[in-house]
Structure 1
Amino acid sequence: MNIKLGRSGNPVPARKGLSVHRKNLYMATWEGVPSTIFQVLLQGQFLTGFLLYLGATSGQIGFVLAITTLANIGQIAVAFFIQKLPSRKWALVTFIGLHRVLWISTGLIPLLLPQSYWVAAFILLYSVAAFFGTAGGVLWSSVIGDLVPARVRGRYFGIRNTLLNALGSLAMFGGGILLDRYPGGHGFLILYIVVWVFALSNVVIFFFYPDVEFEKSEENRFWPMFKKPLNDAGFMRSTLFLAAWLLLQNLVIPLYSYVMLELLDINYKTLSLLNVTQTVCMMAGFYFWGNLNARHSNKKLLFWTLPVIALSSLTWGLLSALPMLAVLLAAHMIYGIGIGGFNQLAFNYMIGDTPKKERPMYMAVYSSLTGLAAFFGPLVGGQIYEWIKDWPHWTQVYGMQLVVGGFMIVLMAAVGRRVLLRER
């Protein structure tokens, strides 16, 4: 048997395999691969396009886009419920599995039901799936917060988000080409077959997730546990401001696909290219904001993502003077840089700037308040588009974006500076 000796003549220990932490990080990254692919192919432009194929109006599309955010209110109950669980793993597998199966089952609606029931059946299935998705989201956030060591958290999520968004860009582009080549029901049938494969693969991978030890809250009753984040004045001020911001933002941004598909008559391939460009800029945003995060606080950087997001809405006004595709490309690039930072910093704020033992309830309160605001955003936005459908064409194409972008700037300057910058 050969034994390797060091310079001192002492044996050098043989290299062991990957550490437990590193194996867990690899597992969490690989789990994101099928999850990203199937969710990209069921969200955004594909969700809007499928709803238009089913016969949904702009108001119904706005309602569907808002359902997942409204379901976030249920996170408060889930945050209390998981404190009673002996193990988070199998509850996570159960809720994630139900969410995936119900969501991908929406693709069966045109095959099984008369056309008059298509939209109603989609809304019902999608709503129930959103509830299970909310429960699974709380559990996953709780697990991943314990799974990823704090010292590598920023770097890990930056790398993970970059890789998965690159993969999502390829899936988005491929899905757009598919729907352009096979328009209507044929294209969506093929799309859903692909989605079924990746969604079920995602559920299988969760069976191999580690059952991480859970540090539970010191409270065992609901009301005292619920009051802890409510009594945290700094946390509540930040949360209420961000909820107001998301209400404004979601009046227009979730409906971009509707405007481009229905009002600007852009094909799926072009729309996919715009969204891929946005995703690439999000990836650049992860790197940019992640580096700044090493020197500045989450809340301070959150504030500086806001003018970038507002600028993306205001950029739509250039459609009055410049070529359409150039303006849309610029708007998507700016939004990608802004929203990439916003999402990553908001997540880091929730799992890094909140008490570990009370983190599930903190996250639930944040998600519920911001989710309620984000619910009314696309709902009201979709209704406004119905109200102004007889107005001049420019008011529907970029008028809404200009008005909302202006209000964003006012809210940021009047309230955001006090809440996110001056507060200690």
Structure 2
Amino acid sequence: MNGEDKIGIDLRQGLRNSIYDGAFAQIMSVLTSGIFLTGFALLLGANELHIGILAAIPFIVQLTQLGSSFVIEQKGKRKRTCLAFASVNRYSWLLVFAILLWRNPEQSPTSIWILVGASIISYLFGSAGGVAWLSWMADLVPQEIRGRYFAKRNMILAIVGVVVTLLAGKYLDLWKNLGANGEVYGFLSVFLIAVICGVISLHFLKRIPDLEKEKPKKEGLGFWKMVKIPFGDSNFLRFALFSASWSFSVNLASPFFAVYMLKDLKMSYGLLALVYILNEVSSILALPLWGKLSDRFGSKPVLSLTTLATSLLPVLWLLTVSSHFVFIIIILQLYGGLFWSGLNLNNNNLLLKLAPKENNSIYLATFAALTGLATAVAPVLGGFLANELRGTTLNLGYVKIYDLLFLFLISGFLRLVSRIFLQKVTEPKEKPVGRMIRALGRLGTLNVTKGFEPLLNYVYLATSRITDFIEKKENSMKNEKMGEDDQN
């Protein structure tokens, strides 16, 4: 076996182990975040302040990636760094068992702060290790298959997340009637399962090769000089500003869609869980398509289409004032899952493309810091606006806008505005978005009948022409602006 064959085998095994690692890490993530972390916190007596802190932690700690990226750039050793941080991330959840020191943990104020402390440690080290993992994967996954590979990986992780959420929810229901502290023990057993799955994921993480030789990098470059490097890359900075402004626009309203469904529409938790699962199913089915489009046309064209589609989504929630709101919400969740899967996949892929191999970890860390800060601030401001808009009503005849619907409209408008930054980003070898839309209309996977084909072809052709026209106008305006700058 020659050296090239061995590298090929190591790569295939590494990509397979990355999927296994991701699957078990996803189980741990689902069981220690979201509805389970919130449910456990509420059981321990958490108030709005505690819930707000828990929600903000994952995003605030992304600022630490700047420090970990400096270590990586100076010392290399991405795999060793990632494993060290990931190990602390997994084992830190064992700290929640300290609440058993109290006889009635749900009545002790200290219990909730133990949970908050465990969350801070876990997310802190998970975030610090995340930049090493991204830098590692950027070199491991060949660019020509990156879209399809991460589409497959994300699809598997989404399926795992749906199954684990359903099973864990049913499992916790069994503990409710088992006497004093029964539900507390139920949550603790869930967290123990999460730690075990996290440790299993470490086993597969260790088996992934780091194809780049471990070597020191630029020993003499100081921290602040290294932090400034990404800010000198105008194309990358435009993309980072787009992602930060987009994250802010989305998270301004995203925590309040569930509030709107529960409080305003009086939906049950069971129905709420069902519509979210439909969103995940739609996402899973669409991921292979977005992966192929990304590899063929580039990530930016896919982002241009999916950001436009998801910008309209908050506005469509105005239709839920109808008496048929359940049917409308189901359609919106299927629609959202379809386009959000393509957006998330290609946002990550474009990040990996634009971050150069040299100093790529500091690029990834800067990106995470900017988007994390924007994402942490947005829901706090959104909560303030939600309180201020409570009781406000605007009757437009067919549509009545009130309370949180105003916040949804603001979010949709800001999403459209944030797309300005995306249009100014340049991706190597990107194809026109109009060409992608025309190709999308010819895909055999649509399985439409002959009677609908002429209509669909007309819609796709018209859409692609409009998109090409807008793109030409934007390029013309950009060239005129550059000409003016040259004259000045």
Normalising by structure 2, we get a TM-score of: 0.74
The one-letter amino acid of 1:109's match is I
Q: Deviations over 1:115-136 (max 9, x none)?
A: 2223333222212221101111
Give distance in 1, aligned partners of 2:6 and 2:349: 32
CA distance in 1 between counterparts of 2:266 and 2:94 reads 27
Q: CA deviation at 1:315?
A: 3.8
Q: How many residues were matched structurally? A: 405
Matched, 1:53 2:43: yes
Partner residue of 1:168 out of 157, 161, 168 = 161
> Tell me, what secondary structure is at the counterpart of 2:235?
helix
Q: Which digits, 9 at most, give the CA deviation of each residue in 1:350-370, with x for residues without a partner?
A: 111221112111111111001
How do 1:240-255 and structure 2 match up within 5 A? 240-255=241-256
Q: Secondary structure at the match of 1:294?
A: helix
Q: Residues 70-106 of structure 1: CA distance to partner in whole angstroms, max 9, x if unpaired?
A: 1111111111111233522222211101111223533
Give the deviation of 1:170 after TM superposition.
0.9
Q: Percent identity?
A: 28
2:239 maps to which residue? Answer: 238
Larger Rg computed on CA atoms: 2
Structure 2 residue 423 is matched with structure 1 residue 421: yes
Q: Classify the secondary structure of the residue corresponding to 1:19.
A: helix
Superposed, 1:5-404 pairs within 5 Å as: 19-85=9-75, 87-103=77-93, 105-106=95-96, 109=99, 112=102, 113=105, 115-183=108-176, 184-213=183-212, 214=214, 220-221=220-221, 222-257=223-258, 269-384=270-385, 387=387, 391=391, 399=402, 401-404=404-407
Tell me the CA shift for residue 331 of structure 1: 3.4
| Deviation per residue, 1:33-60 (Å, 9 max, x gap) | 2111121222222223223222333443
Please tell me the root mean square deviation across aligned C-alpha atoms, in Å. Answer: 3.1
C-alpha spacing 1:254/1:415, structure 2 compared with 1 (3 Å): closer
- CA distance in 2 between partners of 1:318 and 1:225 (Å): 49
**Alignment deviations for residues 392-413 of structure 1 (CA, whole Å, 9 cap, x no partner):** 899xxx9565334323443344
Report the AA paired with residue 167 of structure 1.
V
Whole-Å separation in 2 of the counterparts to 1:233 and 1:279: 35
- Kindly indicate whether the alpha-carbon contact (under 8 Å) linking 1:279 and 1:336 is maintained by their aligned counterparts in 2: yes
**Cα distance change of structure 1 residues 202 and 257 upon mapping to structure 2, 3 Å threshold:** farther
Matched AA of 2:31:
L
Counterpart residue identity of residue 45, structure 2: G
The verdict on how the C-alpha distance between 1:316 and 1:48 changes in structure 2, with shifts beyond 3 A counting, is farther
Change (3 A) 1:59 1:317: farther
Q: How far, CA to CA, are the matches of 1:310 and 1:144 in structure 2?
A: 30
3-state SS of 1:191 partner: helix
Structure 2 CA distance for partners of 1:415 and 1:135, relative to 1, 3 Å:
closer
Distance 2:201 2:269 in 1: 26
Q: Post-superposition shift, 1:185?
A: 3.0
Distance 2:291 2:195 in 1: 34
Q: Residues 246 and 418 of structure 2 are in contact (CA less than 8 Å); yes or no, is this contact kept in structure 1? A: no
Runs of at least 5 residues in structure 1 that lack an aligned partner in the other structure: 1-14
* 256-265 vs 243-252, greater mean Cα deviation: 256-265
Aligned partner of 1:4 in structure 2 is none
| Between 261-270 and 109-118, the greater mean CA deviation after superposition | 261-270
Q: Which residue of 2 aligns with 1:12?
A: none
Paired residues of 2:244 and 2:371 also in contact (CA < 8 A): yes
Alpha-carbon separation, structure 2, partners of 1:315 and 1:107: 44
Range 122-131 or range 207-216, more displaced: 207-216
Inter-CA distance 170–204: structure 2 relative to 1 (3 Å threshold): same
Gaps of 5+ in 2: 177-182, 395-400, 427-488
